[in-house]
């Protein structure tokens, strides 16, 4: 059995070697024929004509939802205060036994009302969060889909088969960067300044040489 297994092992080694050579050959062919470019996708999204309007839309939606939440929160505070007052009334030393039982029943009712209001507020907050996230997702998808369409058009014109985002790329020659072409196709000045997300102020202008050194 030992003798019979050796030829089998040798055949398996030869097959593995052939597979490795085949994969290497395919990779070599792909690297030789594929035309690769990069795009600073994040910068293009921030400078896209839709983005400023979308940000304003999200702020308006947030303000509306917050207003609804504030109204509900006020109801919760009112219900909690009513419960606290009812609970305090139970402690009165002048209450008769019958009055105390009535006060306890009233406090229990006020507690249930406060809890119900609080639970509804939590559900409303979760719903608002989901609605806001979904609105953001749809607006962003509209923009990214539009950018991808422009990238595809440019790539087809330049016979480029692969376009990568610059973010995960460790190094690329600046001649491979299509960011300026994409921005021009979108009607945006490639030298435009990207607004800072946190403050709304303008950030530093983009570097003229985007390639890492």
User: Quick check: is 203 in a domain?
Assistant: no
User: Quick check: is 212 in a domain?
Assistant: no
Host domain of residue 161: 34-185
Distance (Å, whole) CA 51 – CA 133: 16
**Computed from CA positions of residues 15, 20, 21, 23, in that sequence, does the dihedral angle turn out positive or negative?**
positive
pLDDT of res. 205: 39
Beta strands in 27-160 (DSSP E): 36-39
| 8 A C-beta contact, residue 156 and residue 124 | no
Residues 26 and 129 in one domain: no
Cα radius of gyration rounded to whole Å, the chain:
32
> Mind listing the pLDDT tens digit for each residue in 49-94?
999 999 999 999 999 999 999 999 999 999 999 999 999 999 998 8
Residue holding tokens 């036994």? Answer: 97
Number of domains in the chain: 2
Distance (Å, whole) CA 133 – CA 141: 12
| 8 A C-beta contact, residue 182 and residue 150 | yes
Report field, pTM of the whole predicted structure over 0.75? no
pLDDT of res. 32: 53
**Computed from CA positions of residues 100, 102, 106, 109, in that sequence, does the dihedral angle turn out positive or negative?**
positive
User: Quick check: is 17 in a domain?
Assistant: yes
Q: How confident is the model at residue 124 (pLDDT cuts 50, 70, 90)?
A: very high
Which whole number is the average pLDDT over 24-34? 50
């Amino acid at each position: 059995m030992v003798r019979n297994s050796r030829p089998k092992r040798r055949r398996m080694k030869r097959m593995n070697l052939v597979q490795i050579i085949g994969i290497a050959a395919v990779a070599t062919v792909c690297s030789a024929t594929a035309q690769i470019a990069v795009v600073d996708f994040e910068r293009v999204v921030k400078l896209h004509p839709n983005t400023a309007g979308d940000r304003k839309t999200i702020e308006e939606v947030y303000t509306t939802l917050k207003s609804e939440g504030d109204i509900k929160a006020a109801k919760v505070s009112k219900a909690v205060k009513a419960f606290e007052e009812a609970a305090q009334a139970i402690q009165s030393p002048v209450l008769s036994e019958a009055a105390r039982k009535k006060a306890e029943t009233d406090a229990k009712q006020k507690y249930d009302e406060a809890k119900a209001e609080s639970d509804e507020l939590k559900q409303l907050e979760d719903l608002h969060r989901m609605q806001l996230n979904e609105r953001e997702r749809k607006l962003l998808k509209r923009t990214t889909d539009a950018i991808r369409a422009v990238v595809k058009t440019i790539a087809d014109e330049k016979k480029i088969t692969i376009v990568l985002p610059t973010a995960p790329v460790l190094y690329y020659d600046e001649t491979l960067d299509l960011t300026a072409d994409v921005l021009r196709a979108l009607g945006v000045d490639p030298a435009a300044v990207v607004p800072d997300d946190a403050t709304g102020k303008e950030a530093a202008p983009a570097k003229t040489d985007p390639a890492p050194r």
